[in-house]
Amino acid sequence: MQIKNLNYKGYAKFASGFDPQKFDAKKWVEEIKNSGAKYICFTSRHHEGFSMFHTRWSDYNIVDATPFKRDIVKELTDECHKQGIKVFLYYSLLDWSREDYYPLGSTGQGTGRVNHGKWETYHQFMLNQLTELLTNYGKIDGIWFDGLWDQPKDFDWKISELYNLIHKYQPACLVGNNHHSTPLDGEDFQMFERDLPGQNQSGFSGQKISALPLETCETMNGMWGYKIEDQSYKSCKELVQYIVKAAGNNANLLMNIGPMPTGELPELAIDRLQEVGKWMSKYGETIYGTRQGDVLPHEWGVTTRKGNKLFVHILNTKDNTIFLPMTKKVKNAKVFGTESKVFFEQNKYGVTLNIVHAPNQNDYDYIIELTTK
């Protein structure tokens, strides 16, 4: 709608042909869970204003406006609860189809809205929908907001009312907002769009890193949504290394998949999930429950720590030695998952690891486990 300046009334008519009959919540959750993921973030409503759940506050939703007539959010959250996967719901703060989303923001100005309502009714609409999401679908572990960047920095979103509502109905529900700036009061985690914390290659993540838990979001191919021409999926090696780099930068990784119009996940995405799952089942100990390690990220890789274990993730080097500027005393070193010893030398400046075989280009991640005092 934004790129092509599509009229919102014409666009809305496509809902009558949206019938994802092959959607299977059980299969989705199984496939995603088998990848090693611990939570799913599902888009309940995006910028075009269509709700993927049954809402009483608009008939532009998957039950009332489509032949499918099933509440996907309900089916998916029920299955997540059954399989022990945490549930986050993405919710757009902007809307290209409502005339009370006014003043218009920096996007969606060409979608044909010529009559304008009052912001107060739009804000109440969001409060009403969030109440539905927080009271009709059991435990919700997080709300993932997007779109605040659509208005000027001094615009009053009355954001605290949204946050207070969330914590009123579900006090343990985490609140995050993809606004590309320093976290606001009431937010529980900080996200970085298409960037690792501290980097700004995408142009969205120049903000300072806060003390909150961190999350990086990235696409599996090139798109957030489904585009049949986009078959340029990241390799399994790229995906695994991004998971590792995220952990080494103290962050979770939220990896995006755009589902097909049939309701299925694309085959290439499923293949990647399976391969990542195989790697995580073998090496997940070096990722789950860890924090950023003693040594900050380098060109060769990152470190993660859990208790007295420091995991050195060597992702890219042709050298047979790695120097770690660290002060903790190392008791022993080995190749992770084996009893193969790694020779090391330590002085007051740090630790030098001598690797018998430098990682080759086929290695996703060469991991050395250090036990420290």
What are the pLDDT digits (tens) for 188-246? Answer: 999 999 999 999 988 998 899 999 999 999 999 989 998 888 889 999 999 999 999 99
pLDDT at 77 over 90: yes
Domain count, the chain: 2
Alpha helix (H) ranges present in the chain? 8-12, 25-34, 72-83, 119-135, 159-169, 236-248, 267-283
CA distance 344 to 362: 25
What is the per-residue pLDDT across 319-357, written as a single tens digit (0 to 9) for each? 899 999 999 999 999 999 999 999 999 999 999 999 877
Domain of residue 252: give its range: 8-290
User: So what's the pLDDT on residue 94?
Assistant: 98
Both 42 and 165 in one domain: the answer is yes
- Whether residues 349 and 259 fall in one domain: no
pLDDT at 229: 87
Residues 131 and 27 in one domain: yes
Average pLDDT over residues 304-333: 96
Q: Are residues 255 and 355 in the same domain?
A: no
Whether residue 79 is predicted with pLDDT greater than 80 in this model: the reply is yes
Is the per-residue pLDDT at 278 higher than 80?
Answer: yes
- pLDDT at 356 (0 to 100): 79
Q: Provide mean pLDDT across the span 99-109.
A: 97
Using the predicted structure, report yes or no on whether residue 359 has a pLDDT greater than 80: no
Question: Residue 357: its pLDDT value, please?
Answer: 75
Among candidate residues 270, 290, 310, the one where a domain is terminated: 290
pLDDT mean over 43-61: 98
Confidence of residue 82 (pLDDT cuts 50, 70, 90): very high
CA atoms within 13 A on the CB side of 39: 19
Domain identity same for 200 and 300: no
Given this model, what pLDDT does residue 363 score?
Answer: 84
Over residues 70-85, the mean pLDDT reads 98
Q: Cα separations (Å) of 119 from 92, 176, 307?
A: 15, 22, 50
pLDDT for 340: 93
- Residue 2 inside a domain? The answer is no
- In the chain, the amino acid numbered 205 is S
Tell me, rounded to whole angstroms, the distance of Cα 327 from its chain centroid: 34
Cβ–Cβ < 8 Å for 135, 28: no
Together in a domain, 216 and 252: yes
Q: How confident is the model at residue 157 (pLDDT cuts 50, 70, 90)?
A: very high
* CA nearest neighbour of 256 among 202, 214, 217: 217
**Is the bond preceding residue 197 a cis peptide, omega within 30 degrees?**
no
- Quick one: pLDDT band at residue 10, thresholds 50, 70, 90? very high
pLDDT confidence of residue 360: 74
37, 30 Cβ separation under 8 angstroms = no
**For 347, what's the count of Cα atoms within 13 Å in the CB-facing half-sphere?**
3
Task: Tell me how far the alpha carbon of residue 319 is from its chain's centroid.
Answer: 34
Residue 1, domain member (yes or no):
no
Identify the pLDDT of residue 230.
Answer: 87
Same domain, 286 and 304: no
User: Does position 107 have pLDDT exceeding 80, yes or no?
Assistant: yes
322 and 179 belong to one structural domain: no
